[in-house]
Amino acid sequence: MRITMIGTGYVGLVSGACLADFGHDVTCVDKDARKIELIHGGTMPIWEPGLEALVKSNMARGRLTFTTDLAEGAAEADAVFIAVGTPARRGDGHADLTYVYAAVRELAGALKGPVVVVTKSTVPVGTGDEIARILKEEGAPEGTSVASNPEFLREGAAIRDFKIPDRIVVGAEDQRSRDVMAEIYRPLFLNQAPLLFTGRRTAELTKYAANAFLAMKISFINEIADLCEAVGADVQDVARGIGLDNRIGSKFLHAGPGYGGSCFPKDTLALLKTAEDYGVRQRIVSTVVEVNDARKAQMAERVRDALGGSLDGKRVGLLGLTFKPNTDDMRDSPSIPLAQALMAGGAVVAAFDPVGREQAEPLLPGVQFAANAYAAAEGADALVIVTEWDEFRALDLGRMAKGMRGNALIDLRNIYDRETVERAGLTYRGVGRGTR
């Protein structure tokens, strides 16, 4: 199949590279000439394990090309995927569809024949209907149809998620769209990946419902963690005890500083806005958002408490800044309000992240960026593990302790146990790991 991918951000670049790896001919289009230039030079605009090698190998085989010219990229396409950003709109939290609709209008004038236009971007319910209306209004070729194909990619594991998916959801209103989408994903039939065909609106809502449910699990276990601290229980064991129930499952039951990233914050808000527009209350999701916002705001208080009630004049080292490991994504990361609150309280903040520094520096003015974890800990009164990067799991804690001025280790990801930390001469504070 001949496929055009509009947008070379996280979703577009990963999806385009993986589809090319299946054997399709894929052209990725982006208006950002600098980004296309970087990709042609072998530099990826995002950090994702395995992506650079995948892109380079498929470019070398001639199956993956990049251009800024949409007319050129879409001229011979069977399907055109829209994978542009849909950030939360300022003021009301609704998904900003400016880039989506602009791409559709430009595409309508570039098409030479009928194609299936596929929304890969996360869009509110009814967006596919509006895209179909715009295409007709702008004179797209007769027979052009619209489908929804939401992505379910985890940053840091996106290539595996695309190639070995739990499910593929396709929202389509006509047989031609179903046939084209089935052919595009035919290579995955060997993996027996479930291909679920639904109506277009159902597919659009499925994406939001999935992310809201996962966000709910995170906020739930974080509240249970607070209760564990109060009663002297261990949230790690509680999570394991309930996660072994296959009706619940163990994933997303890791207590921590709250969720962030490119999806959960904006998608929960967009779902609430859609519900508001249709006059349907979503009390659970609304509470999830409130709990998570409060959670991130409370993390600085944990550090303050570990330092005897005052941050003034203290030095705090932060390990990890990105919202999760194996990505350079800083969007809505818990590290941002944490670092800002620490500095507002009078603390000096030093930080290290394996790949996120370039993205973090503009967001965290005043933070001192260290060359490694040990440098971030040097002279610190407290050390805070914010992101659970693998390289933080086996630190030489004795070396850390010798270089620190104080001895407090605040483990917001529960990657260490108390005994190991205390043997190194540090005091330990985890999340939801209370002691009587």
Active site residues: 263
Scanning the structure block, which residue is given the tokens 């993996």? Answer: 191
Encoded tokens for 61: 């085989």
Name the pairing type of β-strands 195-198 and 79-82: unpaired
Q: What's the one-letter identity of residue 432?
A: G
Q: Are 408 and 388 in contact (CB under 8 A)?
A: no
Q: Is 306 left (phi over 0), alpha (psi -120 to 50) or beta?
A: alpha
